[in-house]
Amino acid sequence: MSLSNNIKQIVKTAIADLYKTDVDESGITINLTKPEFEGDYTVVLFALLKPLKKSPDALGNELGKYLIEKSPGLFKSYNLIKGFLNLVIADAYWIQFLSENFNNASFGKQNISHKKIMVEYSSPNTNKPLHLGHLRNIFLGWSAAEILKSTGNDVIKSCIVNDRGIHICKSMLAWKMFANGATPESTNTKGDHFVGDYYVKFNDAYKKQVEELIAKGSTKEQAEKEAPIMKAAQQMLVDWEAGKTDVIELWTMMNSWVYEGFDETYKRIGADFDKIYYESNTYILGKDLVEAGLQKGIFYKEDDGSVWIDLTADGLDKKIVRRKDGTAVYITQDIGLAVDKYEEYKIDENIYVVGDEQNYHFKVLRLICEKMGLPYANAIHHLSYGMVELPSGKMKSREGTVVDADDIVDEMINIAKQKTEELGKVKDFTEDELKELYETIGLGALKFFLLRVDPKKRMVFNPEESIDFHGFTGPFVQYTYARIKSVLRKVNSEWAMVNEVNRHTINRKPETDLLPLEKNIITQLEQFPTIIEEAATFFDPSKIAVYVFNLAKTFNSFYTEHSITNAENEEKKYLRSILSEFTANTIHTSMQLLGIKVPERM
């Protein structure tokens, strides 16, 4: 149990004892004391005044004196500031907490939730390589899944591969028109990049045809509909859904090139999945469900044969669920996928990690599933996140202006190499060790920068800024960890020659006073389980990133002011060494939940 929850229960008991009144815990608010006031935790008194018929000062003083008298091992003193009871926790409590937890590598993780949760992320299209936007999606989904696991949930990581549809047919058609039989092997190109090039070629040819039709007198809208290359792509989609042999063979071949490229990227960035779904399978079930919904009157058919649902009475709009030519749309596939997920895993929560441009789509999906009476409709949760932009502006796949994931990873590793060499502290590393270090720093910087921002917010990614060893970055946290491990190696080497009994003096002297920076670190460490719980509740890894950065910053302030190896006495030396070990373990766990490695030395 966290200290704040423990205090809440103690306050509840105190009120019952002092005033013979049973107050619900939900009416007791415990906050961290603001930095400008003396104290560690604050009891907010306002909600208690009316039921207890007390003034703020009377209640605060009576409650404060009671807590000091009844729990002297926990509370040292109190003060009152305008309705806020600020409690100072006794050093003995913090030292006992430190002694009990410093070598617990699992500290922070809790078995408090037992749901079966599926987290779906990545969800790429097989017409182009993964790009920078996908990276935020993948890192966010992977980290959210790990955080949910750390609170006791049974989590399934999943991916839906969008391997069918008009966008896929565009790449296929462009390859038929322009490739002259070229392959990834013959051009020495990674498979997903190779196919992506043809998606851009399609768009270039399409724009040219539209311009030619407009020049001949067509309106822009007419030209976009009548461009021969677009009509050919639409026909290819019809042929694909009809199972036409040559189209299926081309589709299979080009998708195999893309999958090979995706797998290489996933392995490099440390992403994995427990289950991979393919739209080419799920859309069929979706079409069957649409047909069943049509028979029940949930959907209706327009004169042109297309099938729709009217959600205007629910504050939304009319939504197409099947085109007039009988082909499926995205929502069709998602209805089928929701059924697949539930029937196979009986999940309690179905989390979709998808950009905020699809907010409306997921409102529609959930509402359709509700109207169809599907039992898992309420389990649908859209983990919406803001788009990633570059300093130069928004990226556009069709115009080939996106930053491919592979390219940004290469750039990050190169910047990591440059920045590390400038520091000049790796002269004793082997070539293999340097290669691993640069990858650890580069990928760590990339992941941390993309995860440190609240998922709901849009962000601008700046590679140079993300590898600042002194800023709000992954490398700053990694460097702090490596610094702690270096100090501990030195301390442990010295202690290897000291009698083990003498190392535990601190456990026999709980009255030892803590200096302010020592106490600051311990209080931050104590909050770690609460931070993980909050991150799990809101599916928000940025809470972990902000926490671990602040912990690293506090430790660096402490390290600057107080020596560990040359502490004032052996007791202080031991206290600071286990404080350092606890901090290193917590940094390690935090970064692990973000999918980031921490090097033992830098």
Query: Using N-to-C axis directions, what is the helix angle for 228-241 and 191-215, rounded to 10°?
Result: 130
Contacts of 572 (CB under 8 A, 6+ apart): none
Which pTM value belongs to this model? 0.92
- Quick one: DSSP state of residue 90? P
Provide the b/e sequence for 51-63 (b: ≥16 CB within 10 Å).
ebebebeebbebb
DSSP element (H, E) containing 158? strand 154-161
pLDDT at 401: 57
3-state helix, strand, coil in the chain (%, to 5): 60, 10, 30
Q: How many residues does the chain have?
A: 602
Q: Determine the straight-line distance between the first and last CA of the chain, rounded to whole angstroms.
A: 36
Residue 342 vs residues 64, 307, 423: alpha-carbon distances, Å: 52, 25, 52
pLDDT at 468: 87
Residue 147 vs residues 94, 185, 595: alpha-carbon distances, Å: 26, 40, 10
Rounded to whole angstroms, how far apart are CA atoms 226 and 172? 19
Rounded to whole angstroms, how far apart are CA atoms 219 and 203? 19
Segments of the chain with pLDDT less than 50: 395, 397-400, 499-501, 503, 505-511
Q: Which residues pair with 42 in a beta bridge?
A: 31, 86
pLDDT at 426: 82
pLDDT at 23: 92
pLDDT at 508: 44
pLDDT at 447: 98
The yes/no answer on whether domain 405-593 falls in CATH 1.10.730.10 is yes
| Amino acid identity at 358 | Q
Residue 3 CA, distance from chain mean position: 26
pLDDT at 403: 84
pLDDT at 464: 84
- Quick one: DSSP state of residue 490? H
Q: What is the DSSP string of 303-331?
A: TTS-EEEE-GGGTS-EEEEE-TTS-B-HH
Pairing of strands 300-301, 307-310: antiparallel
Contacts of 352 (CB under 8 A, 6+ apart): 120, 362, 380, 381, 382, 383
pLDDT at 499: 45
Contacts of 396 (CB under 8 A, 6+ apart): 402
Residues 73/76/81/83 CA torsion (nearest 10 deg): 20
Pick the closest to residue 250 from 259, 240, 241 (CA basis).
240
Strands of 349-355's sheet in order across: 275-278, 154-161, 116-120, 349-355, 380-385
Q: Residue 73 has which token pair?
A: 């091992």
Rounded to whole angstroms, how far apart are CA atoms 386 and 132? 13
Classify residue 551 as exposed, middle or buried by CB count within 10 Å of its CB (0-12, 13-18, 19+): buried
Give the domain ranges of the chain. 3-89, 164-273, 405-593
- CATH topology for the 3-89 domain: Gyrase A; domain 2 (3.30.1360)
pLDDT at 140: 98
Strands of 318-322's sheet in order across: 300-301, 307-310, 318-322
